[in-house]
Structure formats: C-alpha cells, structure tokens
C-alpha cells in the first residue's frame, strides 16, 4: 500500500491478506479504499464478495458478483465459486450447486458441490471422489480449522454437510 497507494488491485490484495490474518478493521479499510479507487478486477471482486459475506453483507456480495459476471463473463470460475460459497452460507444450497455447475473447471469446488448436494438430498458421491482424488488426506476438521472468513455457524453448517456427503472427519 505504501508503494502503490492509488492502485485499487493493490488495496484489494492487501484487504484480502489482512482478512486472512484476521485483521478485519484494517482489511475493511483497504477494501473500502479499493472500491473508492474504482476496483474492477474480476478476481479481486470475487475476494471482496467473500469478505462482504463475512461482514454479513451477503446481498451486496451477490449483487457485486452478478454484476462482475455480466461485465466480464470470461474466466468466471473463481467468481462462480465465490457465488456458490456465498449462497451456501445463506443456506441456498440449490443456488450454490448451480453456481458451481456453471464453472468450466469445477474440480477445486468439489467440496462445495459435495456439501450442497448432500444438503439437497442428492447423491454427492462423484464430488466426494473428486475431493479425495485431489486431496487423499482430506479432513473436514483440518479444513474447517483454516477458514478465516466463515462464522462459527457457517463453519458448523459446512462441516456437517461435508460429513453428510461422506467426507472423513
């Protein structure tokens, strides 16, 4: 931020890094700066949407992602994943799964697809296989422990859905 104080992408990246460091006040300041500077980078918008969700601003986050998908439909996988994640946290499991299914390469979103499928009463087996193929030592407990943006309620809901899908504790 000291080197490029007028760059919205730098401000957004700093905001996201600070969120991961659990420095929410500084993160919010840097994201507010990024928006004031005219942030338009699609991936940074996806990160911002997840941060907005963590600040209980899910409606704003979904609207931001939907606008971004309209402005720049190319290379949308990360934004669709973020959209699916936000819908899941709002217990909108069908919308979550639909967002992930719109991805060109949904491999990395297999956890989310497995959880949403399980919550909808659908068979999550193919998504569970994909998770375990990518991460043979996957553990719900270990994964939940490293999530900086989720509330405890969101983490508990997601963990329960992952276990319901058949992923190991």
Per-residue pLDDT tens listing for the chain (169 residues): 778 889 999 999 999 999 888 898 899 999 999 999 999 899 899 989 988 888 889 999 999 999 899 988 888 999 999 999 999 999 999 999 999 999 999 888 999 999 999 999 999 999 999 999 999 999 999 998 887 767 788 889 999 999 999 999 9
Tell me the helix, strand and coil percentages in the chain, rounded to 5. Answer: 70, 0, 30
The first and second tokens of residue 96, run together, are 């979550």
Question: What pLDDT was estimated at residue 92?
Answer: 97
Predicted confidence at residue 72, as pLDDT, reads: 87
Q: Which two tokens stand for residue 80?
A: 């669709």
Question: Rounded distance, CA 99 to CA 71, Å?
Answer: 17
pTM of the model: 0.85
Spatial separation of the C-alpha atoms in residues 138 and 49, rounded to whole Å? 26
Per-residue model confidence (pLDDT) at position 106: 85
The per-residue pLDDT for 111 is: 96
> In this structure, what token pair is assigned to residue 127?
């998504």
Q: How far is residue 106's CA from residue 113's CA, in Å, rounded to a whole number?
A: 9
Please give the pLDDT value at position 149: 66
């Amino acid at each position: 931020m000291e080197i490029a104080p007028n760059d919205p992408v730098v401000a957004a990246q700093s905001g996201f890094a600070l969120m991961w460091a659990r420095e929410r006040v500084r993160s919010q300041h840097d994201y507010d700066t990024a928006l004031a500077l005219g942030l338009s980078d699609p991936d940074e918008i996806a990160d911002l949407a997840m941060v907005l969700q963590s600040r209980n601003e899910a409606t704003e986050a979904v609207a931001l992602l939907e606008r971004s998908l309209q402005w720049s439909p190319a290379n949308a996988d990360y934004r669709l994943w973020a959209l699916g994640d936000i819908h899941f946290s709002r217990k909108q499991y069908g919308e979550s799964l639909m967002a992930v299914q719109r991805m060109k390469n949904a491999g990395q979103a297999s956890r989310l697809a497995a959880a949403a499928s399980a919550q909808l009463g659908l068979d999550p087996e193919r998504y569970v296989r994909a998770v375990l193929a990518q991460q043979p030592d996957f553990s719900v407990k270990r994964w939940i422990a490293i999530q900086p943006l989720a509330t405890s309620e969101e983490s508990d809901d997601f963990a329960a859905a992952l276990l319901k899908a058949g992923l190991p504790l």
